[in-house]
Amino acid sequence: MTLRRLALTFGVVLPMLLAVGACQAPRHDRAALRVDSTGDIHVLVSSCEDEKIVRMKVFATNGGAASWYISRSPAEAEPVQLVDVPLLSQPDGWRLEEHSLKELAPDQPYTLDVSNESAGLVMRLRFDSRQLGRLTADEMLSGRSGRPAAMAQDDFQGRAREQCKS
């Protein structure tokens, strides 16, 4: 390969690689799960400014066809600071797209994906039912880089606000 061809290759490929590397990965600490006093699991999403949350999906991380998937059109979605929906149900104002996941199995890892109207997938949280079972009444499960951790709701909302600033 000539020096000229090598320079041309790097001149084309390197900017493409840098552009791909600049894409934002899904945020992890604006989505959380909590267990209420009756034992029901809730998905909590802290949204930024005028962001409209339009899709949520939970599925088995290691495969399998069962999933829970809800959606709504951007016109139906109000920009609110904290979206709170019961997991594995059909909340008011949402369409139930898929409901083959009826309950969480023990020792099964799951993934929660949350999407907004413009950027697509913006949040992802991996979890299992054991982690949810260890939460105290004032804790929720959230995390960064796919590593979920229990935290107080105030801490969750503070971290989410920081994410919205960056």
What pLDDT was estimated at residue 2?
54
CATH class in words for 25-165: mainly beta
Task: Check if the beta carbon of residue 135 is closer than 8 Å to that of residue 119.
Answer: no
Residue 77 pLDDT: 82
Written as tens digits, the pLDDT of the chain (166 aa) is: 554 544 444 444 433 333 333 344 444 578 999 999 999 999 999 888 778 889 999 999 988 779 999 999 888 887 777 889 999 999 999 999 999 999 999 989 999 999 887 776 678 899 999 999 999 988 999 986 567 899 998 898 888 888 777 6
